[in-house]
Chain A
Amino acid sequence: MTDLDKIRNFSIVAHIDHGKSTLADRLIQETGTVKDRDMQAQLLDTMDIERERGITIKANTVRIDYAADDGQDYVLNLIDTPGHVDFAYEVSRSMRAVEGSLLVVDSSQGVEAQTLANVYHAMEADHEIVPILNKIDLPASDCDRVAEQIEDVIGIDASGAIQVSAKTGQGIRETLEAIVKELPAPVGDENAPLKAMLVDSWYDAYLGVIVLIRVINGRLKKGERIRMMSTDAVYPVDRVGVFRPQMEMIDSIGPGEIGFLTASIKQVRDTRVGDTITHEKKGCTEPLDGFKPAQPVVFCGLFPVDSAEFEDLRDAIEKLSLNDASFSSEMETSAALGFGFRCGFLGLLHLEVIRDRLEREYDIELITTAPSVIYHIHMKDGTMQELHNPADMPDLTMVDHLEEPRIKATILVPDEYLGDVLKLCQERRGIQEDLTYAGTRAMVVYDLPLNEVVFDFYDRLKSVTKGYASFDYTLTGYREDFLVKMSILVNDEPVDALSTMVHRDRAEMRGRAMVEKLKDLIPRHMFKIPIQAAIGGKVIARETLSAMRKDVTAKCYGGDASRKKKLLEKQKKGKKKMRQFGRVDIPQEAFISALKMDD
């Protein structure tokens, strides 16, 4: 049992790669939570995909004990959060479970778009913010400049910013002291009825559904029966524990504490993030505010390359969605690709992560179709339909008008690249809303259509600014525009999986870019192949892929017929990575790559 005033709860937030997870490592290590020999870099990034890409995808909680300079023992609960904009939702809900944030800024880079976005989230959550200037070991580190920037751009006092190297461990002790001294202790009433926030939940193969909670009032003990206030479902609690970072069972958790419970809950779906948990009897009556659930914004079709693997794909998608409520799926049939799933994601990185996991953990080769956003189709009869898939576009004679989702995009960029960024945003049908300067960096705010951004905007932004721009966005609403469905015909057959919604004014350009790309992506065949982009019946762009001219083994090695057979086997395998449309084999990666614009 810990006194409330000896508890500090905080999240570590920052722009992507500014060193959150590495800072968490040092805090864990300095407090002896994990023995040195068990330590490894980005200890909390446990998923294969996190380790491989060096990024955090899931927020992680750790409880550490800290003996402070004032001679008192404190319990610190830290939450390491992801930096990528796709997972912004993880950050904002984590913040709801804690009272303060360590705002990490890479002192060799400065304030970036997600730095800003995170500060706004922290302010919304009424957080106390401790600025941390990280990576001071780097020669390019410039703490004075970055501190000034924090004050100018963010408007918070950076005079007390702590200078840290999460790499060397410099400044870690000071960070721990600041956590104790500057962050508020949680408030709560041990004797009030139980009121706990359901922060997150996931599935564990051994323990079933694990529920991460933050207790506000009251105390939760092992063996008690709890009630989920949104559903009224009641469960007996099997286990109560904390993360250190591995699970450690304890008897109870009280106000101000963060921990987990298990309660023979079968599916993650039975839990609602943001829900209020109380005792079955004598529970509290007023639930917490709750959070808005994360909504998928990008949709695409996932189809097995080998149509015989459809059932495997169904199982795999079911298992993955058990653990990821922000990933949605429903069955889809495509004329060209057969059976598959229409899946919704938080963004393109999220899409890539899920696709990677399906391919690797479940060994299913996938075709990913053109990503799309959700359009609103207003019918002549006054009804509105959501369009998740261009292939489902209804008969135009029945359609009154279309609306598309818009975003507010914030981009921070060094002055010298500003022109390129404005040009890019303009090309993408953006409307400039704001342009301010902080030193030599410009901050531009644009109103942009999501469909122009979702796909390759970030890649393009990185390439035109040599990686010096940062980007963040939030959805703002829907607006009418002149949108049309563009179809692609390969060898005179429409390939529905390549259909996209485009703005009429951009259609020719996109159409041309797509057919040119496809011409490079589709291997030459024995015959020539026309590739066309069309709107309705009208062809707006056309390329011809010429026939291959030579594919033969010149010399024959004596009687070595098996060598030729091996070649044929290899070609068979190559063919498995393609999908046949009429007589044309289209490689699986073509469906996504065709959409990327290089210029």
Chain B
Amino acid sequence: MLLQNSWLVVLTEDWQNGGFGLYVHWPFCQSKCPYCDFNSHVAAEVDESRWVRAYLSEIERYGKQTQGRTLDSIFFGGGTPSLMAPETVDAILTKARETWNISNNIEISLEANPTSIEAGRFKGYRDAGVNRVSMGAQALNDADLKRLGRLHTAKEATQAFDIAKKNFDRVSFDLIYARQHQTADDWRKELSTALDLALDHLSLYQLTIEAGTAFGDRYDHGKLAGLPPDDTAADMYDITQEICEAAGLPAYEISNHARPGAESRHNLIYWQYGDYVGVGPGAHGRITVNGTKQATETYLMPNKWLTEVEENQTGESLRNFVPMVDQATEYLMMGLRLSSGINLDRYEKLNGAPIPSLKLTQMCDDGFLIRQGQNLLPTQSGRVLLNAVLRELLV
């Protein structure tokens, strides 16, 4: 779709290759999961009316900097956005519609925890305009859910999933694997069950032990027993690729699987390095203003962000100009997560120089990357070693 004022902007700005999205961060959860290092907090009470005003004010501020744009996606992430009242979601979506043009096939996703309380709000979200839900199932047996500190049972999760399916055409769920005491065989079985349940999208994350989380502390003290050794974890990754591919949900990104065409539009904006506005505590954004790419960050702590927005009309804690070469690096780092990879012309245009051909040839010869015309794709072995591939290409 052509932009209204397109004659004003340089005809093709780089972000247009990736699209334009809005990310809304809701930072609260009912309890803190021991593995989680997302910006999530447990609060006794949240005055939602203040929060609504703050979100709207932030959207308005960013709207002025991105006038005339068309939104391809809106994503409510967290924390646990399914704790928001449907009215809050509705107010935010209404404001977004007033602020930007809306693509005909806009994707509006919301992350939900699979408990019964939350399932009750699904209809409200649908009425507000949400058309896709991503549920944090994490595991499909109660013992493991308990170890992961989850508040729901496996049964509750499937029930919530059923309710979600009644309300939305597009429902995905997340699983965490390579958990404590999990064998490759356990995972194979669990994944098969998951694929039987799944519609057309799954996010499958290997458990990462993050510093500063309860799991991180226990790990440092040698008290996190039964984690699969690296080689087993690598096997599990391979199994995941194999089973999902056979089921018709190949990986389109390191940890995301979908039936072709059912990929999350929002995720693709990040990985194809488009522009996105980030509102809410700790949200990141990349927006091209007057032809230059800006990186934005907001205050991490919920109350700090809220009062900053109320008192100073901005929740932004940082705004950096992103030089072209850094954009190139970010594009490469994000883009190679995708099975479809990156476009070398686009990279070269940003970087001012191509990837050194010696390095490229080496990585292709070693079977980590494939070159198809001007596209550069990671192979499966390239994807499991992506950090190493990036080191080779960038360091």
Question: Which of the listed residues A552, A557, A559, A568 has the most CB atoms from chain B within 10 Å of its own CB?
Answer: A559
Is A565 a contact of B330 with CB atoms below 8 Å?
yes
**Does chain B have a CB within 8 A of A550?**
yes
Q: Which residues between 314 and 350 of chain B lie within 8 Å of chain A, taking CB atoms?
A: 326, 329-330, 333-334, 337
Chain A residues with Cβ below 8 Å from B131 are none
Question: CA of A564 to CA of B388 in the docked complex: distance in angstroms?
Answer: 13
Q: Which residues between 364 and 395 of chain B lie within 8 Å of chain A, taking CB atoms?
A: 366, 368, 383-392, 394-395
Is B205 a contact of A555 with CB atoms below 8 Å?
yes
Question: Which of the listed residues B285, B333, B334, B368 has the most CB atoms from chain A within 10 Å of its own CB?
Answer: B333
Closest Cβ–Cβ distance, residue A480 to chain B (whole Å): 49
Question: CA of A571 to CA of B394 in the docked complex: distance in angstroms?
Answer: 11
Q: Which residues between 515 and 563 of chain A lie within 8 Å of chain B, taking CB atoms?
A: 525-527, 548-562
Instruction: Known A562-B284, A565-B330; judge A554-B208 contact (CB<8 A).
Output: yes
Chain B residues with Cβ below 8 Å from A553 are 208, 254, 386-387
**Does chain B have a CB within 8 A of A575?**
yes
Q: Which residues between 252 and 267 of chain B lie within 8 Å of chain A, taking CB atoms?
A: 254-255, 267
Is B395 a contact of A550 with CB atoms below 8 Å?
no
Is A551 a contact of B284 with CB atoms below 8 Å?
no
Question: CA of A130 to CA of B25 in the docked complex: distance in angstroms?
Answer: 79
**Does chain A have a CB within 8 A of B187?**
no
Is A559 a contact of B385 with CB atoms below 8 Å?
no
Is A552 a contact of B333 with CB atoms below 8 Å?
no
Chain B residue with the shortest CB-CB distance to A560: B284
Is B205 a contact of A550 with CB atoms below 8 Å?
no
Chain A residues with Cβ below 8 Å from B267 are 556
Question: CA of A555 to CA of B174 in the docked complex: distance in angstroms?
Answer: 11
**Does chain B have a CB within 8 A of A37?**
no
Is B384 a contact of A549 with CB atoms below 8 Å?
yes
Closest Cβ–Cβ distance, residue A519 to chain B (whole Å): 16
Closest Cβ–Cβ distance, residue B332 to chain A (whole Å): 10
Question: CA of A123 to CA of B277 in the docked complex: distance in angstroms?
Answer: 84
Instruction: Known A526-B366, A559-B270, A561-B330; judge A554-B230 contact (CB<8 A).
Output: no
Instruction: Known A526-B392, A558-B284, A559-B278; judge A549-B387 contact (CB<8 A).
Output: no
Give 1 or 0 for each of A363-405: 1 = CB within 8 Å of chain B CB: 0000000000000000000000000000000000000000000
Question: CA of A565 to CA of B75 in the docked complex: distance in angstroms?
Answer: 23
Question: CA of A560 to CA of B207 in the docked complex: distance in angstroms?
Answer: 19
Is B337 a contact of A556 with CB atoms below 8 Å?
yes
Is A526 a contact of B388 with CB atoms below 8 Å?
yes
Closest Cβ–Cβ distance, residue B123 to chain A (whole Å): 27
Q: Which residues between 482 and 541 of chain A lie within 8 Å of chain B, taking CB atoms?
A: 525-527
Chain B residues with Cβ below 8 Å from A526 are 366, 368, 385, 388-389, 392
Chain A residues with Cβ below 8 Å from B207 are 554
Number of inter-chain CB pairs below 8 Å:
101
**Does chain A have a CB within 8 A of B299?**
no
Is A565 a contact of B387 with CB atoms below 8 Å?
no
**Does chain B have a CB within 8 A of A572?**
yes
Is A548 a contact of B388 with CB atoms below 8 Å?
yes
Chain B residues with Cβ below 8 Å from A567 are 387
Instruction: Known A558-B77, A559-B285, A561-B330; judge A552-B385 contact (CB<8 A).
Output: yes
Question: CA of A527 to CA of B381 in the docked complex: distance in angstroms?
Answer: 11
Is A550 a contact of B384 with CB atoms below 8 Å?
yes
Chain A residue with the shortest CB-CB distance to B231: A549
Question: CA of A78 to CA of B383 in the docked complex: distance in angstroms?
Answer: 69
Instruction: Known A550-B234, A552-B386; judge A558-B392 contact (CB<8 A).
Output: no
Q: Which residues between 249 and 269 of chain A lie within 8 Å of chain B, taking CB atoms?
A: none
Chain A residues with Cβ below 8 Å from B295 are 561-562
Chain B residue with the shortest CB-CB distance to A563: B284
Chain A residues with Cβ below 8 Å from B233 are 550
**Does chain A have a CB within 8 A of B122?**
no
Chain A residue with the shortest CB-CB distance to B269: A559
Instruction: Known A550-B230, A554-B208; judge A559-B284 contact (CB<8 A).
Output: yes
Chain A residue with the shortest CB-CB distance to B256: A556
Q: Which residues between 205 and 261 of chain B lie within 8 Å of chain A, taking CB atoms?
A: 205-208, 230-231, 233-234, 237, 254-255
Is B230 a contact of A552 with CB atoms below 8 Å?
no
Question: CA of A460 to CA of B383 in the docked complex: distance in angstroms?
Answer: 45
Instruction: Known A526-B366, A571-B395; judge A558-B384 contact (CB<8 A).
Output: no
Chain B residues with Cβ below 8 Å from A571 are 387, 391, 395
**Does chain A have a CB within 8 A of B108?**
no
Is A559 a contact of B337 with CB atoms below 8 Å?
no
Question: CA of A555 to CA of B177 in the docked complex: distance in angstroms?
Answer: 12
Chain A residue with the shortest CB-CB distance to B286: A559
Closest Cβ–Cβ distance, residue A73 to chain B (whole Å): 62
Is A551 a contact of B395 with CB atoms below 8 Å?
no
Chain A residues with Cβ below 8 Å from B387 are 551-553, 567, 571
Give 1 or 0 for each of B188-208: 1 = CB within 8 Å of chain A CB: 000000000000000001111
Chain A residues with Cβ below 8 Å from B254 are 552-554, 556
Is A549 a contact of B230 with CB atoms below 8 Å?
yes
Chain A residues with Cβ below 8 Å from B385 are 526, 548-552
Closest Cβ–Cβ distance, residue A570 to chain B (whole Å): 11
Is B284 a contact of A572 with CB atoms below 8 Å?
no
Is A561 a contact of B334 with CB atoms below 8 Å?
yes
Chain B residues with Cβ below 8 Å from A554 are 205-208, 254-255
Is A552 a contact of B38 with CB atoms below 8 Å?
no
Chain B residue with the shortest CB-CB distance to A575: B395
Is A568 a contact of B390 with CB atoms below 8 Å?
yes
* Interface contacts beyond A556-B255, A564-B333: sample of 4 additional A-B pairs, CB < 8 Å, sorted by A: A549-B234, A555-B208, A559-B270, A568-B394
10 closest Cβ pairs, A-B complex: A549-B234, A550-B234, A554-B206, A561-B330, A551-B387, A552-B386, A559-B284, A551-B388, A560-B284, A554-B205
**A and B contact pairs by CB, cutoff 8 A, 5 listed:** A556-B334, A559-B276, A559-B278, A565-B326, A567-B387
Interface residues of A (CB under 8 A from B): 525-527, 548-562, 564-565, 567-568, 571-572, 575
